């Protein structure tokens, strides 16, 4: 969710305004709306423009990983050190229950075929980034009755790829979405699963599922410009 879509110039201007308001600003993240790599030309320009005068800023971006192999080297060359990839399943059959379809290289794919393509690209891209020194975090949305029992397998797999932390998040059913009638996952259920997965890899526990345009300090809520 976001309040507006910014052009690279407007994003740079907004960054400068926020920097004046929050002196300790240290991180800029491109997290949406949509996938950061779907508009990579503009997001790349935004990062380059901000980085040119603010080399100390840490840049992060979020993606579903579908076209990550295509842009992984550009991400590295740009100096982005943190990437978040959403991986809700490593089983194409389970993925088919989560994703209606994918659009890849100009063609629509559905079902397990779509899940297989998505998974292969996610794993390839994640491995490439971690082997190049990029810190990769994995977001996993816990969907009761769909992938909840499968998530420990996801965590084990991404650990093999060099991921340093996973963030298991509750499904929040959104009106009009395919999961609007699914039960919302409770934080107790999420934390119980995090405790299980903690045995394999560090778990992120401070996530507040911020909006894509959130501005502020961790643990102090959000402000929106």
pLDDT digit string (tens) for 52-82? 999 899 999 999 999 999 999 999 999 999 9
Backbone angles phi, psi at 65, to 5 degrees: 85, 0
Residues in Cβ contact with 134 at an 8 Å cutoff, skipping those fewer than 6 apart: 75, 76, 80, 81, 82, 83
Both tokens assigned to 29: 């993240």
Maximum separation of any 2 CA atoms in the chain, in Å:
49
pLDDT of 181 higher than 50: yes
pLDDT at 3: 55
**Residue entry with tokens 């009009």:** 176
Domain extent listing, the chain: 8-197
Gap between the Cα atoms of 60 and 83, Å rounded: 5
pLDDT at site 21: 87
Q: Which CATH class is domain 8-197?
A: alpha beta
- Indicate the pTM of the whole model: 0.88
Nearest to 77 by CA among 56, 51, 54: 51
Angle between helices 187-197 and 151-160 (to 10 degrees): 40
In percent, how much of the chain has pLDDT > 70? 89
pLDDT band at 138 (very low <50, low <70, confident <90, very high): very high
For residues 111 and 98, give the distance between their C-alpha atoms in angstroms, rounded to a whole number.
9
Indicate the length of the chain as a whole number: 225
What's the rounded mean pLDDT across residues 142-149?
A: 96
> Sorting pLDDT into bands at 50, 70 and 90, what band is 1?
very low
């Amino acid at each position: 969710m976001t309040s507006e879509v910014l052009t690279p110039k407007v994003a740079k201007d907004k960054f400068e305004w926020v920097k004046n308001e929050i002196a300790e600003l240290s991180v800029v993240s491109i997290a949406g709306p949509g996938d950061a790599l779907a508009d990579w030309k503009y997001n790349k320009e935004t990062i380059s423009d901000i980085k040119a005068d603010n080399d100390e800023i840490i840049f992060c971006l979020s993606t579903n990983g579908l076209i990550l192999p295509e842009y992984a080297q550009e991400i590295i060359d740009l100096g982005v050190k943190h990437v978040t990839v959403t991986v809700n399943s490593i089983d194409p059959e389970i993925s088919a229950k989560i994703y209606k379809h994918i659009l890849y290289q100009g063609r629509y794919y559905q079902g397990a075929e779509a899940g297989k393509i998505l998974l292969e690209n996610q794993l390839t891209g994640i491995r490439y980034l971690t082997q190049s020194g990029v810190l990769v975090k994995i977001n996993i949305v816990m969907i009761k009755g769909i992938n909840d029992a499968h998530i420990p397998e996801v965590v084990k797999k991404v650990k093999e790829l060099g991921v340093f932390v996973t963030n298991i998040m509750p499904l929040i059913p959104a009106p009009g979405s395919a999961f609007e009638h699914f039960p919302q996952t409770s934080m107790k259920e999420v934390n119980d699963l995090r405790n299980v997965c903690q045995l394999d890899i560090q778990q992120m526990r401070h996530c507040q599922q911020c909006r894509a345009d959130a501005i502020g300090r961790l643990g102090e809520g959000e402000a929106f410009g």
